Structures are given as C-alpha cells and as structure tokens.
Amino acid sequence: MTTISYYYITTALSYLLTAIYGYMWHRRYNINFTLMFVIIPIASTGYLFLAQSEDQSSALMGQQIGYIGGCFEPLFLLFAVLGLCKIELNKVVRGVMITFNTLMFFCVITCNYSKLFYKNVRFSKINGIGTLEKEYGFVHTVFVVSLIVYLWLSFGALIFTYLKRKDVSRKILNLLLMPGIISIASYFMGKFPVFGKEFTLIPLSYVISQLIFLLIIHRVNLYETADTAIDSLMRTGKTGFISVDKQLRFLGGDETAGIFFPQLIQLHVDKPISACDELGSAIIHWIKVYSEDKSQNKVQFESGGRIYQINITYLYDGRKIRGYQLIITDDTENLIAENAKRTMQMQSKLLLGMATMVESRDNSTGGHIRRTSEGVRLLIEEMLKSGNFTLSDDFCRSMVKAAPLHDLGKIAVDDAILRKPGRFTPEEYEKMKVHAAEGARIVHEILSDSDDDYFRQIAENVAHYHHERWDGSGYPEGLAGESIPLEARIMAVADVFDALVSKRVYKEKMPFDKAESIIMEGMGNQFDKELEPVFVAACPRLEAYYESLEE
C-alpha cells in the first residue's frame, strides 16, 4: 500500500461509516454522536489534503481542516459519555466548553497571521507526501492539556457510573473508553512506520472510533427502544416493564417493576436474567414457551403474596426483533374480586339448591320459587314505572335474586308439619313460624364471608320478614308499617298471591279476580298500602304469566 492510498482509504471509510450512521439515524439519537460523525469525515479529508499538498499554503489548509476533529471530537465524545452515563451537565458549563474549543479552533485557522497556535511552520515532501514541521505556540499547549482533561473527565464519569449505577450497560461503558484512548494515543504517537513507510495514525483512529460509535449506537438503540415502548404506555403504578435482549440479558425495567420484584434492583444492565434466581428462571421459561407458541403470551406469577399477570411480547426496533418485553400487572385485587365473585356464585347456587330441596319437601305442587321470583320482578318493574319509589339498580337486582330464598328456613321444619295437608294446630303453627328466623340465620351463615354485603342483607330481610304484616300482627317479630323492610313487603305480596292462585295438595287454585280481591282487601292491614297501585298495574301481567304456565 502506498502512503497516499492509506489516506484515501481512511477518508473513504470515514464517509462510508457516516453514511451508515445516516441510514441508521433516528431522532432519539444523541446529538453528540451525530456531530462526531459529521466532523470526522471533514477532519479525514483535511489529512488527505495535507498528504496531497504541493506547497505550504495548501498543506496548512489541510492541517487546519484536520484540526476540526482534534478540537471538537474529544469534546463531543465527553458530552456523549456524560449523556450515556446519565450525568447531567449544566448548560452554562456546556456553553463555556464549546466556546473554549471554538476559540482554540479559531486560533488554528488563523495561524497564518498569529503565533498563538504555531510559532513557525515549514513545508516539505517526504516520499511524495506533504508534511509540515511545526514549532508550537501557547494555545497548542492549552489544546493538548484540554485533550488530557477531556479524557480524564470521560474516564472519571465512566468509573463513577461503574461504581454507582446499575441501570447503564457495562458493555457500553467499556466501549466508551476506547475512542478517547485511541484518539489521544494516535495524537501523541504521531506517525507509525509500516512496511518502511510512515503513516499518521489520527485518520485511522477516527475510523476505528466511528466503528466503535456504531456498536455503541446499535446497543443504545436497543435500550432506547425499550424505553420508548415503556414511555408510550400509561403508568398507573400497577403496571411495570422488564426488557431483555435476544440473548436473555437484562436491558432494564421501570420503577414499578422494581417495586414488584426488588431483586431486579440488584441486577446490572446486560447481566443474564438468569442471575435473578427464581424470577430469572421463570422469565427464561416464559420466553422459551412464547418463542415456540406465540399464543402462550400470558402467564401468572406469584411473588411476595401478590399475584402478577405477565404479558410477553417481542421488543421491536422498527421491524427488527431485538429482544423481549414483559408487561407486568399487579392483578391481585382483580383475582381476589374474581374469586369472590366465583365464591358468591357458589354460595348462591348452594342457597338456591337448598331452597329447591325445601320446595320438593313442601306440600305445594312445585314451581313456587320460580313463580314468586317472577312475581317480584313484575312488581318491581311497575314500581319503577310509577315513579313513586326510588329503587337503585342494586336493590332491584338483589331483590329478584333473593326472592327464591324467602322460604329457605323451612329446611329446619319437620316433614310431618311441612307436608301436612290440612290446617296446622296452634302448636304446629308455632313450629312452622320458626322458618322465617331460621331462613335468615342460614342466609347469614352461608353469605357471611361474601363481599356483597348489600345482597346478603336483602336476602336476610326477605327470608326473615316476609310474613310480617303492615298492622303488626305478623311474625316472627311483629314489626309494623315502615319498620318492615321494603324488600319483605314486596315479597309478601308476591308470596301470598302465588299461594292463592296456585294449586296445592289440600286445595285448588283460586280464580285471579278472587285472589286479586283478597290482596286488595289486605292493603293497609296485611300489606303496604303504597303497593296497592303497583299491584293493580301488575295484575294483567301477573295473570298473563300464570296463564302461560298452563299452556
């Protein structure tokens, strides 16, 4: 290789690497990398001009162009190091440093007229390569000192980050050390003999630095892809994020994930996720399963008494898969609520099963539970239509759901009494009356650990007080008027109406008009007088319903 070929090759490579950077460029890239990729080809071009120069003037111009790299590349590298180490530099300090280096470069480009940077220069051609012999001035000494200071500041920032921060990649920290060391070394080594020819190492050091910058950017891009994905999602304190690369190395996680899984706080970026013991092994297994079957993207994980929902997705950089992202949601409350709902459903089925069993022992012809539930529903609908009652959705739902449980206490009544075809004796009647309080007790016991306290209270009241009378002559407690819960007053009307119009083993069903007349006569003494217009409005629908059962 001829010496001039070396300068052409290094210059061409610097432009090629800048073009690659331009192709990769994204707006989230650190501006200091962009500035370095802009000035390095310019500096390399300056060294090429110097090598091709035929006189002192053109050689000095090439040298001046080359110094744009020497004056600014170490500074922008320092800024990039500080940014990647997440160390914030005061804007004033940053401005002073840029101004300082700009003044130094001004001294370089005016060295034809001043002695601040070069006191004297002398041009010569050695083996066909333009060369300048220089006698350095004061500003050149300042320039060299600044290079050393920038290197040590960068080195100090990297050491500090190594020791104090776990959220910065160690691979990036290692890579960041190299460009500064290479640039300084190439500057002080000057020219290096190869195959009997001397080559200035600075252009080569620039190319190597660019290659290292591309490696850094490629890795940083991965972390910032994860950060961007995280930032794009709403943080509620109940959702956390963990990202790993394709080699299952930890890329990072947000604060919420650290709260969920404290062991993550101790994990360095770029460390294998397997270092996270139980959690790491679980993550590796989840990702393996997900990689084999994309439908297996949701798992549950229990840790510290909490239950977490884990959603696994690929981590994309554009269209390229760069790793995996785990979206972690604390699902404990939802699961508790879901379990409570299932428990409530089981309890309701148990109660309904018991009520059905009671009905099979009773002396009715069956269907009482279903018929009274429909009667309650029709009465409530008319109450809502009338506008005279303020009934919540919860009340209406709970009332219809509780209606089948009103006679649940009959499970404690002896068959001889429950199935007796005729009228009860006073002693038998007293034993029958206990079913109201017993039903309330059973409902309370079974639903005592339910989260739906409102429904439990409605169901208890329906079972306990549906035989109370408006005038206070009912049982079991002789309540009167509005001291009787509204739900029990509604239940009483539906219960008595069904008893009148339904066939029993000891009686035939009563005609609708007669049953309706009996209910109306009871308004104000047996039943709540305010329910009279409601019952009247519901009668046509009640008749239609009962007639439909005979078809």
Task: Assign 233 a pLDDT band (cuts: 50, 70, 90).
Answer: very low
226 found inside a domain: no
For 153-169, write each residue's pLDDT tens digit.
Answer: 988 888 888 888 776 77
Q: Which of residues 159, 193, 221 is at a domain's end? A: 221
Hey, which of 107-121, 308-322, 436-450, 501-515 has the most confident mean pLDDT? 107-121
Q: What is the rounded end-to-end Cα distance, in angstroms, of the chain?
A: 107
228 found inside a domain: no
What pLDDT was estimated at residue 354?
Answer: 61
Question: Does residue 254 carry a pLDDT above 50?
Answer: yes
For 122-145, write each residue's pLDDT tens digit.
Answer: 988 887 888 888 898 999 899 989
Are 371 and 413 contained in the same domain? yes
What pLDDT was estimated at residue 263?
Answer: 79
From 448, 452, 524, select the one nearest 489 (Cα to Cα): 524
Question: Does residue 541 carry a pLDDT above 70?
Answer: yes
Q: Which of residues 330, 361, 388 is at a domain's end? A: 330
Question: Does residue 365 carry a pLDDT above 80?
Answer: no
Q: What is the mean pLDDT of residues 194-209?
A: 71
What pLDDT was estimated at residue 11?
Answer: 92
Are 525 and 384 contained in the same domain? yes
Q: Is the pTM of this model over 0.85?
A: no
Are 92 and 162 contained in the same domain? yes
- String of DSSP letters for 401-445: HHGGGTTGGGGGS-HHHHT-SSPPPHHHHHHHHHHHHHHHHHHHH
227 found inside a domain: no
Are 391 and 491 contained in the same domain? yes
Are 430 and 355 contained in the same domain? yes
Are 166 and 43 contained in the same domain? yes
Are 366 and 439 contained in the same domain? yes
CATH of the domain at 302: 3.30.450.20
Are 402 and 497 contained in the same domain? yes
Are 343 and 325 contained in the same domain? no
Task: Assign 206 a pLDDT band (cuts: 50, 70, 90).
Answer: confident
467 CB-near residues (< 8 Å, 6+ apart): 433, 436, 474, 475, 476, 492
Q: Which of residues 299, 330, 361 is at a domain's end? A: 330
Domain limits at 136? 3-221
Task: Assign 15 a pLDDT band (cuts: 50, 70, 90).
Answer: very high
For 470-514, write each residue's pLDDT tens digit.
Answer: 999 999 999 999 999 999 999 999 999 988 988 776 668 889 999
50 found inside a domain: yes
- Check residues 259 and 374 and name the one with the higher pLDDT: 374
412 found inside a domain: yes
What pLDDT was estimated at residue 353?
Answer: 61
57 found inside a domain: yes
Question: Does residue 253 carry a pLDDT above 80?
Answer: no
Q: Residue 389 phi/psi, 5° resolution?
A: -125, 140
**Residue entry with tokens 């050695």:** 126
375 found inside a domain: yes
343 CB-near residues (< 8 Å, 6+ apart): 449, 450
Are 201 and 57 contained in the same domain? yes
302 CB neighbour count, 10 Å cutoff: 10
Are 399 and 416 contained in the same domain? yes
243 found inside a domain: yes
Are 474 and 372 contained in the same domain? yes
Spatial distance between the Cα atoms of 25 and 228, rounded to a whole number of angstroms? 16
Number of separate domains in the chain: 3
Task: For the chain, give the mean pLDDT.
Answer: 82
CATH of the domain at 347: 1.10.3210.10
**Residue entry with tokens 């009307």:** 493
